[in-house]
Amino acid sequence: MSFEIISETQCFGGTQGYYRHAAETTKCDMRFSVFTPPQALDGPVPVVWYLSGLTCTEDNATVKAGFQRVAAELGLMIVCPDTSPRGDDVPDDEAYDFGKGAGFYVNATEAPWNTHFHMYDYVTRELPALIKEEFNADMNRQGITGHSMGGHGALTIFLKNRETFRSVSAFAPIVSPMNCPWGEKALTGYIGADRAAWADYDACALLESGGATEVNILIDQGLADNFLEGQLKPELFEAACEKVGQKVTLRRHAGYDHSYFFISSFIEDHLRHHADALK
């Protein structure tokens, strides 16, 4: 397995790196970032995956979330994948909420998206194999988090891979893409018109069909978020958790919006949430 080092920079005693590799699942070059904490010099460290939202790349959280200081203190490796395939041969859409930058962490089955848009397999299978082989990561201790579309990805990937992840959290997640315009557009385009197939990528549906986990799910949501009522609808996930007896801490914050100012305000809480579960 090979990858290219784009850059590596010392940061809080660890290393913030950017990397590129030829991905089989997406049939294109994919970029990702990894923060390796100083504790990795002494042995394998736990991994927290951060999945970004619409229009984002591996760079958004790496630069704006401010996770490196606390991750270095706690000894957490932070992996930030890109949000979709990239390249001249990859199909795209003129809108910001579909195509490049909007992979929705699904395996597309509809043409022309089904050639490249296999972000679920990329994030759950191919990139973890590379991290396991090339970085000093303890893959028996993994957590996952994300923002918006990436929060949807974190919740659904956790619920479909309960044996892999010990912890999960999300910032302003799309909790039920089956019931919001962003999700309906993406799932129709990538998966097709059969709504029954959409349930495999809907956190509320997965929770109701699979039952509760032993993990406490942490979610932070800003109440000044422009997308709160139309797209995010955290109350749907709250209701699904109550229905199956799933532990969830859903914190609502007055005045906070959908931006990285919101994420950076609470990223430390999330990293400590994961560290407690992964130690």
Positions marked catalytic: 148, 225, 258
Q: Which residues pair with 50 in a beta bridge?
A: 145
Q: Which residues pair with 9 in a beta bridge?
A: 16
One-character DSSP codes across 5-19 = EEEEEEETTEEEEEE
- Helix segments in 173-246, DSSP class H: 181-191, 195-198, 203-210, 234-244
- Sign (positive or negative) of CA dihedral 127, 132, 137, 141: positive
Beta strands 45-51 and 4-11 are unpaired
Q: And the tokens for 148?
A: 């918006």
